[in-house]
Amino acid sequence: MSSVSPSPQPGESVTEGGKTPQRTTGHRSALLGAMFLMATSAIGPGFITQTTVFTVQLGAAFAFAILLSILVDIAVQLNVWRVIGISGRRAQELAGRVLPGAGAVLAALVFLGGAVFNIGNIAGTGLGLNAMVGLDPKIGGGISAAIAVLIFLSKRAGLALDRIVVLLGAVMILLMLYVAIVAAPPVGEALKNTVLPERIDLLVITTLIGGTVGGYITYSGAHRMIDSGVTGAESVREVTRSSVLGILVTCVMRVLLFLAIFGVVAGGVSLTSDNMAAEAFGAAAGEIGVRIFGVVLWAAALTSVIGAAFTSISFVTSSQGKPRTRNLLTVAFIAVCAVVYLFLGQAPQTLLIFAGAFNALILPFGFAILLWVAWRRRDLLHGYRYPVWLLVVGVLAWLLTVYLAWNSLAGLAKLWS
């Protein structure tokens, strides 16, 4: 049985036959990185923008949308990680085995969505450094893109990726916890609206799910996991544990950010500036709050740049290709997105929200293919008998994503108008 290196490169191929190599510190580090890559990819500048805008619009009722997105996330990610992990194949490779041409379509959709998001992610890094230290957003975006490029150019790119997403993810959690505490949100009202919302907005729910579960975000952690060599039916327990922990990290980040913004809104502060999230953090904690917002936004945006680039390139390259080649393509992807951002000068809030809604349209297509593999293609799962309960949960979540995606079609035109 062949093995992968203790510090696998992004995109490094897994062992043949879905076998799992002996666990090392490097493998555990890669799994931790996969968990945080999934979580931080879901909490990018787009999500921060969406959370702020929608909390201002819906108030405590936005808690219901948060809960629904978490439930969908659990159902989707448990299935995605298990199918991809046991098969040892990337999502587009499975799609191509199920239906000729489907892999190329899925890859194109995810790649395009990832590119749109990454332009916004780079813009977010610029805004983050501007709020943090007053740096010009374009210069900040260029510097941050260069940092991401250096990560993928390093000799141990896999180890560098894992460590930076874990470190920045931990920083985000601690800082958002502080702001959520000082904002003193009415938690009771938020809990009530979690189960009995005063208002339900389908476009908001669809956009939130698309921005936190859809598109490249769905597959970022799972693709990194199989690169670490954790594949095959014998790894089910490890796959499940990793996906659950990753989901918990994501949930904590979402809830803390919502509570921080909601505390400000519930306190009667009117957020009217072009950067409402920064205004909210400033209202909660003063000048230091604005600096904290800068750190959170920069960390969220940089990890999302890394996640979007890694996952998007993993969809248009073969898992059997050379890691160095994939890393260079990832560098080129980041560079092109950075040039587009520098040319545009900004990524409008509407574009970020639209990208989330677009990703919600991609989600039912890719997820349906993985559910089909779980149901009908045991040959791709090396004979593994898929749990019926997990498949049922996945189908229910898929039906919800189809319904929300259908409703979002009309909403997208309204959003642009």
User: How confident is the prediction along the chain (417 residues), in pLDDT tens digits per residue?
Assistant: 333 334 444 434 334 444 444 555 666 777 888 899 998 888 888 788 888 989 999 999 999 999 988 888 899 999 999 999 999 999 999 999 999 999 999 999 899 888 888 988 998 899 899 999 999 999 999 999 999 999 999 888 888 898 999 999 999 999 999 999 999 999 999 999 999 999 988 878 877 876 677 788 889 999 999 888 888 888 888 888 888 888 889 889 989 999 999 999 988 888 777 778 889 999 998 999 999 999 999 999 999 999 999 999 999 998 777 888 999 999 999 999 999 889 877 655 566 566 656 666 788 999 999 999 999 999 999 999 999 999 999 999 999 888 877 776 666 666 555
What is residue 215's DSSP assignment?
T
Instruction: Walk me through the domains of the chain, giving residue ranges and CATH numbers.
Output: 21-317+340-416 (1.20.1740.10)
Two tokens, residue 61? 């009722």
d(CA 264, CA 284): 6
Long-range Cβ pairs for the range 372-381 (8 Å, 24+): 372/98, 373/83, 373/87, 373/94, 373/97, 373/98, 374/79, 374/82, 374/83, 377/97, 377/98, 380/87, 380/89, 380/94, 380/97, 381/83, 381/86, 381/87, 381/233
| Structural Rg of the chain based on CA atoms | 20
**330: number of Cβ within 10 Å:** 28
The Cα angle at residue 301 between residues 312 and 368, in degrees rounded to 5: 40
d(CA 39, CA 79): 16
Q: Are 356 and 46 in contact (CB under 8 A)?
A: yes
Q: What is the pLDDT of residue 28?
A: 74
3-state secondary structure of 383: coil
Q: What is the pLDDT of residue 4?
A: 36
Q: What is the pLDDT of residue 374?
A: 96
